[in-house]
Structure 1
Amino acid sequence: MKAIKTINGTWGGRFPLGLHANLQSTLYTLIHPITPAKLLLEASDIDTWNGGILEEMEIDREAKKAEETALLREKDDTRDEILWALIQETRLAAKSPIKENRAPGARLLIVLNTYKDIIRENYASETAHIKALLKDLDKPAAVADLTTIGQTRLVQMLRTANEEFDSLYLKRLDFDAGIKKLPSSASVRQKNDKMTATIFRHIETAYMMATSDDDRKLIGDLIDRINAAINKTKNVYNTSGKRKEDGEPKQPKEPKEPKQPKDPKPTPDPKQPEQPKKPDEKPKDPKKPDDGNPDIKLPEE
C-alpha cells in the first residue's frame, strides 16, 4: 500500500479578508518554487492561482483605503472642533472681566477674522488656510498674546490635527486616483479557495505517486510546511476572540458583500464648494450646524 499524507483544511470561509489573503499568499510562496510537474500540475495552474491571489490582495487594500476615507472625516471634525474652540476662547478673552486678557484677545481676534470662513471650505483649502493661520499665530506678538490668554496648547493641538489630516488626505488622493471596478471579495475568495483545494489534492496525490524517495521527501516536506502555515493562521484567528466556549472555532455566516457600483467614482469631498453650506442656519452646538458645517462668521470687533 502506498503511503499517504494529507493537508489540513484551511477554514478559508471563516477568516476575515486580510487574513484569508495573507494565507493564500503564504501558500503560494511555499508551493510555486517547486516544479509544477512534480506536483502533477501545469505551470498555467499556478499562474492562474496567483492571479486570483493578487486580485484578492488588491481588494483588501482598497477596503483599507475606504476605511481611511472614513477616518479622514473624523480627523476633519477634530480639527474643526479645535479651531472652533480657539475662536470661542479668543472671543471670551476679548470681552473678559480680566482686564489683562482683553487687548491680547482683541488682537488675536483680528488675526482669526482674516480666516473667518475657514471651516466652510473644502478639505484642501481648509488645510492650506490653517497652515497660513498657524504661521500668523507663530509670530512673536501673537505667541505673546496666546500665552497671556492661556491658549498656546490649543494652537499646538490645531497644528497636530492639521498635520495628521493632511498626511491622511494625501493617501486618500492616491486611492481616488487609482480606484477601479473590482469583483466582490466573496466571489474572489470562493474562486481562490476552490483553486487551493484542487492544488492540495494534486499535491497529496503526487506524494502518494512519487517515483523516487527524493521526490517523496520533497513533497512530504512541502505538505508539512503547508500544514504549519495553515495551523499558524488558525491560531491567529483563534486568538482574535472568534472561538466557542469549548475552544473550537465557530463557523460564522459569510458576510454579505456590497454591490459594486457600475461606474465607481472617487469619494467626493463633503466640503466642496459646489455643495455650499447654509449661512443662515444656527448650530446645534458650538461646533457644527444641522448640515454639518458651522456658521462661524465672526462679528467685527
Structure 2
Amino acid sequence: MDEIIEIDPIGMKKLDNGQHVHFHSRAYDLVNEYEPAKIGLPEPLKTEWKGNIDTEEDIGKEVVAETLTKTMNKKNEERDRILTYIFRLIRACVFSPEDAEEKAASELALVINSYGRVQRESFDRQSSHIDGLLVDLKKTENAAHVTTLRLTSALAKLEAANGECKKLYLQSVKNPHRSNLPTAAEVRPKTDAIYNRVVFMLKAAYVSGVASVDKAALKQLAEHLNSLVDRTDKAYHQSLAQKKSAADKKKKKPDTPPQPKEPKPKKPKEGDKPDIHLPEPEAPKKPEGSGEGKKPDTGSGGGGGAPGGGSSPEITLPEE
C-alpha cells in the first residue's frame, strides 16, 4: 500500500478574525516556499488564496480604522472641553471685582477673540490653530496674565490633548477608510474552502506518482503545516484561558470584613397564635372595713359625711 501524508485539520470557525487571517497567512508562506510543480499545486489556486488573505487583512485594518475614529472623536471632545473652560473663565473674569483678575482677563480676551470659532473647524485645522493659541498665550506679555487667572495647568492639559490628536490624525491618514470591502463573514468561508482544496491536492500529489512531484518536499511541507496547526490550537486555548482569567478577576470583589448576619424572623406556622399578652384589667379596690353586700349610709345627719355631700362607708365601733 502506498504511503500517504497526513495534514491535521483545524477548526476554522472557532478562530476570531485576527487568528483566522494569521493562520492562512502563515500557511500560505509555508506553501509558497516550494515550486508549484514539485508539490502538485496549480499557480492560479495559490493566487486566489493570496487574494482572499489580502482582503481579510484589509478588513482587519478597516476595523482598526473604525476604532481609531472613535478614539479621535473622544480625544477631540476632551480638548474642546478644555478650550471651553479656558475661554469661559477668561470672559467671566473680565467682570471680576479683583483689579488684577479684571486686567488679566481683559488682556487675554483680546488674544482669544481671534480663536473664537476654533472648535467648529475640521479636526486637523483645529489642531493647527490650537498650536497658534498656545504660542500666543505663552508669550511674555501674556504669561503673567495666565498665571493670575490660574490657567497654567489648563494650558498644559490642552497642549497634551492637542498633541495626541495630531498623532491620531497621522494614524488615520496611514489607514484610509475603504467602503467597498466585503464583510469577514463573506470572505472567510471562501478562504477556508481554498485551503481545504490545497490540502487535498497536496495529499493527491503525494500518491499520484507524477515525475515532477517531490515527495520529500511534500512530506516536509506536511510536517510544517501540522506544526502550524498545533501552534495555532495552543494559541487559541491560551487566549481563551486569558479571557476567562480576566473575567474572573472582574467578577471578584475586593476582600471586605464579613458582616454579621441578622437573624431572620421565624415565620409563624399555620394555627399558631401570636405570642402577645395583653394586661388583665385590675379589679376596683374596695374601701377597707367595708362588708360585702352592705350599702353605704345615705343619711344626711352628722358631720361625718364625705366632702361634697357624698355618702361615707358605715363604721362599727367595738362594744365594751
Whether the aligned pair in 2 keeps the contact of 1:105 and 1:145 (CA below 8 Å) is yes
Cα distance in 1, alignment partners of residues 209 and 146 from structure 2 = 80
SS state at 1:169 partner: helix
1:147–1:230 Cα change, 3 Å? farther
Match for 2:83: what amino acid? L
User: What CA deviation, in whole Å up to 9, does each residue of 1:48-99 have, x standing for no partner?
Assistant: 2112212222222222222222222112111111212222443455555666
Match of 1:41 in 2: 41
Cα distance in 1, alignment partners of residues 97 and 18 from structure 2 = 58
Q: What does 1:217-236 correspond to in 2, within 5 Å?
A: 217-236=216-235
CA-CA distance at 1:164 after TM superposition: 2.0
CA-CA distance at 1:37 after TM superposition: 2.5
Whether the aligned pair in 1 keeps the contact of 2:39 and 2:214 (CA below 8 Å) is no
CA-CA distance at 1:150 after TM superposition: 2.8
Cα distance in 2, alignment partners of residues 49 and 41 from structure 1 = 12
CA-CA distance at 1:30 after TM superposition: 0.6
User: What CA deviation, in whole Å up to 9, does each residue of 1:209-233 have, x standing for no partner?
Assistant: 5689x93332222122212222323
1:30 maps to 2:1 = no
What TM-score, normalized by structure 1, do the two folds share? Answer: 0.70
Match for 2:239: what amino acid? S
Q: Which has the larger radius of gyration?
A: 2
Cα distance in 2, alignment partners of residues 144 and 240 from structure 1 = 55
Q: What does 1:51-70 correspond to in 2, within 5 Å?
A: 51-70=51-70
Match of 1:145 in 2: 145
CA-CA distance at 1:19 after TM superposition: 2.3
Match for 1:185: what amino acid? A
Match of 2:11 in 1: 11
Match for 2:68: what amino acid? E
1:238 maps to 2:234 = no
Match for 1:115: what amino acid? Y
Count of matched residue positions in the alignment of Structure 1 and Structure 2: 243
1:37–1:81 Cα change, 3 Å? same
Cα distance in 1, alignment partners of residues 217 and 127 from structure 2 = 58
1:73–1:205 Cα change, 3 Å? same
1:206 maps to 2:205 = yes
Whether the aligned pair in 1 keeps the contact of 2:62 and 2:175 (CA below 8 Å) is yes
SS state at 1:75 partner: helix
Whether the aligned pair in 1 keeps the contact of 2:49 and 2:194 (CA below 8 Å) is yes
**Gaps in structure 1 of 5+ consecutive residues:** 246-301
Cα distance in 1, alignment partners of residues 165 and 152 from structure 2 = 20
SS state at 2:239 partner: coil
Match of 2:317 in 1: none
Match for 2:197: what amino acid? T
Match for 2:63: what amino acid? A
**Percent identity between the aligned chains?**
28
User: What CA deviation, in whole Å up to 9, does each residue of 1:223-263 have, x standing for no partner?
Assistant: 22212222323333333337998xxxxxxxxxxxxxxxxxx
Match for 1:158: what amino acid? L
Match for 1:141: what amino acid? E
Cα distance in 1, alignment partners of residues 83 and 34 from structure 2 = 60
Match for 2:168: what amino acid? L
Cα distance in 2, alignment partners of residues 157 and 244 from structure 1 = 35
Whether the aligned pair in 2 keeps the contact of 1:4 and 1:204 (CA below 8 Å) is yes
SS state at 2:12 partner: coil
CA-CA distance at 1:104 after TM superposition: 2.5
Q: What does 1:67-82 correspond to in 2, within 5 Å?
A: 67-82=67-82
Match of 1:106 in 2: 106
1:82–1:232 Cα change, 3 Å? farther
**Gaps in structure 2 of 5+ consecutive residues:** 245-320
Match for 1:172: what amino acid? S
Match for 2:202: what amino acid? I
Cα distance in 1, alignment partners of residues 97 and 199 from structure 2 = 79
Whether the aligned pair in 2 keeps the contact of 1:6 and 1:223 (CA below 8 Å) is yes
1:158–1:46 Cα change, 3 Å? same
Whether the aligned pair in 2 keeps the contact of 1:96 and 1:102 (CA below 8 Å) is yes
Cα distance in 2, alignment partners of residues 231 and 148 from structure 1 = 66
Whether the aligned pair in 2 keeps the contact of 1:210 and 1:216 (CA below 8 Å) is no
1:76–1:49 Cα change, 3 Å? same
1:152–1:45 Cα change, 3 Å? same
Match of 1:270 in 2: none
User: What CA deviation, in whole Å up to 9, does each residue of 1:3-37 have, x standing for no partner?
Assistant: 33322223222222222112211111110121222
Whether the aligned pair in 1 keeps the contact of 2:39 and 2:217 (CA below 8 Å) is no
Cα distance in 1, alignment partners of residues 243 and 121 from structure 2 = 50
